[in-house]
Every structure is written in C-alpha cells, then in structure tokens.
Amino acid sequence: MSRPRTEAEYLARLVPSSVAGIGRRSLLTGVGAGALLGTGLLAGCGSDSGSGSGGDSKEVSVGSNQSDPQPKAVIAKVMDGFKAASGVAPKINTVDHNTYQENINNYLQGKPDDVFMWFAGYRMRFFAAKGLTGDISDVWGKLSGYSDAFRKASTGDDGKQYFVPSSYYPWAVFYRKSVWKQHGYQVPTTIDQFTALGAQMKKDGLTPIAFADKDGWPAMGTFDILNLRINGYQFHIDLMAGKEAWTSDKVKKVFDTWNGLLPLHQPDSLGRTWQEAAQSLQQKKSGMYLLGLFVAQQFGNDEQDDIDFFTFPEIDPAIGAKALDAPIDGYMLARKPKAEANARKLLEYVGSKEAADITVKNDPTTLVANSGADTSGYTALQKKAAELVGSATEIAQFLDRDTRPDFASTVIIPALQQFIKNPRDIDGLVNSIENQKKSIFTS
Amino acid sequence: MSDLPLIQADHAVASPAPTSPSRGGRGRRLRLLSRTDRVVITLMVLVPLLLVVGLVWLPALATVALSGTDWDGIGPLSEIDWVGGRNYADVVGNYPPFVPAMQHNLLWLAALFVVATPLGMFLAVLLDKEIRGSRFYQTALYLPVVLSLALIGFVWQLIYSRDQGLLNAVLGGQTDWYGDPHVNIWAVLVAAGWRHVGYIMLLYLAGLKGVDPSLREAASVDGASETSTFFRVVFPVMRPINIIVLVVTVIESLRAFDLVWVINKGRNGLELISALVTQNVVGEASRIGFGSALATIMLAISLVFITIYLAVVMREGRR
C-alpha cells in the first residue's frame, strides 16, 4: 500500500535516491535481462514446448514497490503461481516503497522492468499520456471479473487500458465496537447526527475524531470526503483535474464545513503521525477515525474483531453518501518491454482469479480487485469493506492520486496545513491555491 | 561531510606563517623543472579542474539555465519550453512557503552563529585544558556528528512527540513540539545546535592543539590572566581557524536540511530553502524548472558568502 506503515519505512524514504539505487539496480537487471532476452525472444516465441538449452525466453522482470515483509511475501507467492501456470520465471526487483515513488520518473525513462507496480487514477493517466507506459487493451480483452468502475480506473485519457488492478482499500470512519457499545452510540447517517455524536463523545470524555497531519497527506482524505459529499464526484474530479476554480463557493463551502467540524477533531494534529492518531483510537481515547483500511495495522490480533467502520455520512441529500475514496494498486507495462509476450502473459495472470485467490489466502489487510476471486477467506472487516466499495456509485482514488502530483505535494499539502492552523482565512487560502494552480496547470 | 574542513583546519594551523620567498628564487625553480615534472603538474591541475567543471560548474550552470524553463523532468531536452523569469516571479509572489523559508534560514544562521558556535568554541577551550575525562566528554559531544541523520531524527522524535514523547511525559505538558509552527523551529534548532556544537568543538580543538605553547608561556610570564591570554593572544593567532569556523557555520545554516526533512519534509513552520528545492525537484512529476529557480536563489545567496570568504583568504595570501 501507499503509506509509510512504520517508523522504519518513514525513515527509509529519507535515503537519497542516488544512494538507494533504484536506477542502478533496475538498470543493471534491465540490461542483463535484455541482453539475455534479446536473442532468446526472437527465437523462442514460436512454441511454448521448446524447453531449449538456455531457456532465455522464460523470463520476465517485475518492478515491485511492495517492500514490507508481508506484501512482499504475497507478491512472491503470486509470482510463483505465474511460474507454475506458464513456465515463465518472473524476476522481482523490489525497491523501497517511497524510493520507488520518488524515482518513478527516472525509472520509466531509463530501463524499467517489463512489468511494474503502480497506482490507478491521474497518477497512472499522467504517465500513460506521456507515452512512458504500454497499451494493454488486448490484455483487458482476456480479463474477467472486473466491474466497470475498475475498467474506468484502468483507462487512460485516450480510451485505451494501461493498468491491471490487483488490490484496493476503502477510506471510512473507523471505531471500536466495545467503546460504542459501552456508551450506546449509533452509526450516524447525516452530518447533523455526526456532529451530535461528536458532541456526545466530548461529554463522555473522548476525543470525537482522531486526527493527524504531520506527514501532510492524511488531511487530504478529509478534504476528499467532504468535497465528495458536498459537491459530488464529478465536481471533485474536475477540481482535481484543474478544470474548476478553487475560489468557487463550492470549495469554500467544503472548508466552511470542515471548519465547523474541526473542534471535534483531535487538537495539535500537525505534530502527530497517523500511527499515533490510530493508537489513540486503539487506546479508547478517541471515538472515531477517518482513515484507510490500513488503520487496522495499529491494532493487535486480538483486537481485530473489535474494529468496525461506517462510510462518512451524508451532507447533501441530493448528493447522497455513495461515493468514496478507495485507492487501487496494480500493474502496468513498460513502454518498451524486453520480453513483451511474457509481460503481457504476466499481466493477464495478475489480473486473473487465480492470482486474486492467492492474495486472499495470504494477505488479510487488503481487498482484491477481481470479483471472481474466492473471498470466503476474508475477515469480517474485509467482507464489510468489500461490500462498502461494491455499493459505491463512484470511487475516487485519493487526492494525491487524482491530481497532478506536483500540485498535490507542493501546493495542497502546505495549504491544508495552513487551513488547519488558521481555519478562519478561507478566502485568502483558496485565492492562494487558485493562483498557484493556474501557474502549475498551464505549464 | 566533516572531513574536508578538518583537513584544512589542521593544515591551516600546522603550517607556519608564510615566509615570502624571493621572486627570483621561485622563478629559477620553475625553470629547473624537468619535462616529467611539468607533465605531472599539468595533470595535477587539469584533472581536478575537469572534475570541478564537470561536477560543480556545469550542474550549477544547468540549474541556472533550467530555472528559466518549465521542464517537468520528462521527455527530451528539445521539448523544454522557455518561460523566462516566470518561475522567479512565482517563487517571490505566488509561493507561500518562500518567505518563511528565507526567515528560517536567517534564524538558523543567527542561532548557530550566536549560540551554537560560541558554545562549541567554549567547550573546545575547556577540553583543551586537559581536564580529567576529557576524552570521554570529547566523544560524548562529538557523537551527534557521527550519528546518521535518520537516527537523529528518530531520537528527537522520541523526545518531542506530543502524545508519547519523553519531554511531555517528564514535564507533564501538552506542548506540540513538532506541530506548533511557533514552537517547532526552536525545537529543531535545539536538535541542530546539538549536532553543530560537537562539530565546531572538534574543529576548534584541533586548532587549539596547534597553537604554539610558547605563546601562552610568554603571556603568563607577562602576567596575563587566562581570559586575557585567550582573547588577546590565542584567539588572534587562530585567525585562520576562526574564519573556517565562521564559514562552516554559514554553510551549515544555508544547507540546513536533514533534520527538518526527517521531521516533516520541511513544512508547517519548518520551511527552509533547501527543503523547498527538494520538495519541488524530487518526486514522481517534478517541477524541475521551479525548483531550479529556488536553487539558483540559494546559489546567489551562497555566492555572497563565498565571495567574502575568498576576499579574506586572498588578502591573507597577499600579505
């Protein structure tokens, strides 16, 4: 998944890219595999049965950002499954998650692996539009078990598919069942019930909403959901694409509503990591927390059954509460893969029911994208999360995946932190964002 | 990072004041050089020159050139659009973190210059007295300089965390050391000073060891007190090392980066020019042009200090 999960991982992102060596490592393997495959591919693509002396055509390289032990092991199992099914041995090049992300630019322009992991959304379309990734519409022709929402999330600006979804996780409001039972709280379905519940929690000595934004991104989730609830999915996506003005009354209303909710949020959020906020929920000091499904990592195994969630309540009845953030992770094809036939075969496999089944069996912290998968192994939390996303009418990918990454990191993060510090000056804030947006989106 | 100035420091102090050789002598020696000597000298000049041009000047000039473009790091150089001074206009007029970053850099410089550097010097003077256990103190004070920045960030996170940190636990407070923009810059300056003091201390200690003991002896024979011996005799004699310490302090405050990056990537009260450059240039879709404009501004500021330093050093050389 996309977020630093541990202090170690957070620190690992600080290693300068030149030292961390994504370029070098993938370059070397890329060149090496290329040299091996260059001859083998031409000779060997005729028949599968030709178990030649070298077996050069039996390789394909995969760039993986799944550097945590558990997801890494899951990927290895999926790749073993591909090897068993096709006889092609995938070579996995795992790079630290954040290093991978920061280097993706150079990586894709250099010698990328044949298949590489990435995210859906604007982030995917951006690189597809720049011609840095391969068209895989033909692979999509062979895939089954994907809803239209996933297909749409895998499609570039030109209408072709560039992405195979593998897993996703929804954002929702999480809480502990035991705490709610003790106080007799009910799941709120409107914003008024939500604020009333928050006020009650305050009276009961709880912090109503755990909140952290030291790393800059968690507050994006709050902005996303408020904008989705107040202005709807299409406006949100257009705003992210730079087509709508941040100075519009619609955006101001989002900040206004947020301002009204801020007193319910945990104070001093700018010095707190999401892990620390999640621990306040785990320690029963906070009543609820709007975050991704990965919040469960901060809970012990014996507490997993005590976690529950609801989708953020409705604000405008005309808009409803059916849209949500559920970022999708998956695979893409390099611009000029060394072993193209094998790479397409691999993409077909990772999008298949078999690969999804392997993931379900081995990873209890994520949801698989393929609806054909056997999900009987899901925990109660996973089942409920899958239902929530299944019933969603529109799925956003999270702010920093739905807009230009440079805009998200250099403008939105400081702006949202500024808002949290000083929630009163909304006009000044949106003017500043709009001016910077114009400068960035025109370049 | 600490090696280079150290070597210079040693060298600067170890070598006696330059005795100006007669011009005729130097010229004659040059003519006496054999062909091999001349080749060796040429190579010795040429190789470092090429390295400096290739690794320092070309990237610096490229940065200046790129600052006039809107390149996003993708695609061939031929597709770069020239936007003139727009990036600079944006930096100054349309980029909220820029002004705080300039202020923080100045504050950083002032804090190191007024507090950390004198403290480092003071500790060096104390340790130079060969008090008992001075090796231990020396190691303890130098330790932060040796630790990796990731580790330092982690150590201070344990101390400063609002909910789970040592400081709030001991003081029983609720101060948001890292999140409150009025507090966090001072919290970080303490952490940065912690590192800087050890660095200056070792530099200065090396300088003090090189001061001719006979000078002190002469001063004490003349009846000078410890304090006046230091300020009237030792301090002026250490002019070269004083300049190096000054330059190191300026450099450290200009490129101050690692700690704020570890803490929150240089946002929310911890803006620094270097962090802003990194935020814009490093990443999946970079604003190389905009980041280069910031880097060029930083380069221009550094040039002021470099010019002053060179002017001082060259005047020294001429004397």
Return per-residue pLDDT of chain B as tens, 319 residues: 444 444 444 444 444 444 544 444 455 555 678 889 899 999 999 999 999 999 999 999 999 999 998 888 887 777 788 888 899 999 998 899 999 999 999 999 999 999 999 999 999 998 888 788 888 888 888 888 888 877 888 888 889 888 888 998 898 888 888 888 889 999 999 988 988 999 999 999 999 988 888 998 899 899 888 889 899 999 998 988 898 898 889 888 888 888 888 888 888 889 999 999 998 988 776 888 999 999 999 999 888 888 888 887 788 766 6
Please list the residues that pair with A334 across neighbouring strands: A133
pLDDT of residue A344: 94
Answer whether A404 sits within 8 Å of B285, measured CB to CB: yes
pLDDT of residue B239: 86
pLDDT at residue A56 tops 60: no
Chain B residues touching residue A405 (CB < 8 angstroms): 283-285
pLDDT of residue A36: 37
pLDDT at residue A86 tops 60: yes
SS (H, E, C) chain B: CCHHHHHHHHHHHHCCCCCCCCHHHHHHHHHCCCHHHHHHHHHHHHHHHHHHHHHHHHHHHHHHHHCCECCCCCCCHHHCCECCCHHHHHHHHCCCCHHHHHHHHHHHHHHHHHHHHHHHHHHHHHHHCCCCCHHHHHHHHHHHHHCCHHHHHHHHHHHHCCCCCHHHHHHCCCCCCCCCCCCHHHHHHHHHHHHHHHHHHHHHHHHHHCCCHHHHHHHHHCCCCHHHHHHHHHHHHCHHHHHHHHHHHHHHHHCCCHHHHHHHCCCCCCCCHHHHHHHHHCCCCCCHHHHHHHHHHHHHHHHHHHHHHHHHHHHHHHC
Alpha carbons B237 and B215: distance in angstroms, whole number: 9
pLDDT in tens, A278-291: 999 999 999 999 99
Alpha carbons A254 and A244: distance in angstroms, whole number: 14
Chain B residues touching residue A432 (CB < 8 angstroms): 94, 96
Q: Is B89 exposed, middle or buried (0-12, 13-18, 19+ CB in 10 A)?
A: middle
Q: Which of B163, B284, B289 is nearest residue A276 as measured by Cβ atoms?
A: B163
pLDDT at residue A364 tops 80: no
Q: Which of A280, A405, A421 is nearest residue B163 as measured by Cβ atoms?
A: A280
Chain A residues in contact with chain B using a Cβ-Cβ cutoff of 8 Å = 7, 11, 14-15, 17, 101-102, 104-106, 109, 123, 126, 130, 132, 214-216, 267-272, 276, 279-280, 404-406, 409-410, 413-415, 417-418, 421, 432, 435-436, 439-440, 443
pLDDT of residue A3: 57
Answer whether B153 sits within 8 Å of A14, measured CB to CB: yes
pLDDT at residue A108 tops 80: yes
Answer whether A417 sits within 8 Å of B154, measured CB to CB: no
Chain B residues touching residue A418 (CB < 8 angstroms): 96
Number of H helices, E strands in chain A: 20, 12
pLDDT in tens, A121-135: 888 998 999 899 999
pLDDT of residue A5: 53
Helices A340-350 and A69-86: crossing angle in degrees, nearest 10, is 120
Q: Are A40 and A57 in contact (CB under 8 A)?
A: yes
Question: pLDDT > 90: what percent of chain A?
Answer: 63
pLDDT of residue B15: 45
Chain A residue whose CA is closest to B280: A410
- Closest among A10, A9, A26, A2 to A338, alpha carbons compared: A26
Q: Please give the ipTM for the structure prediction.
A: 0.77
Q: Which of B162, B164, B264 is nearest residue A268 as measured by Cβ atoms?
A: B162
**Residue A26: what residue type?**
S
Chain B residues touching residue A439 (CB < 8 angstroms): 86, 90, 94
Answer whether A105 sits within 8 Å of B177, measured CB to CB: no
pLDDT of residue A324: 92
pLDDT of residue B6: 41
pLDDT of residue A25: 38
Mean pLDDT of chain A: 86
Over residues A313-320, mean pLDDT: 95
Model-level pTM?
A: 0.80
Please list the residues that pair with A176 across neighbouring strands: A307
Alpha carbons A172 and B100: distance in angstroms, whole number: 35
pLDDT of residue A98: 80
Interface test with A, best of B67, B263, B284 (most A CBs within 10 A): B284
pLDDT at residue A73 tops 50: yes
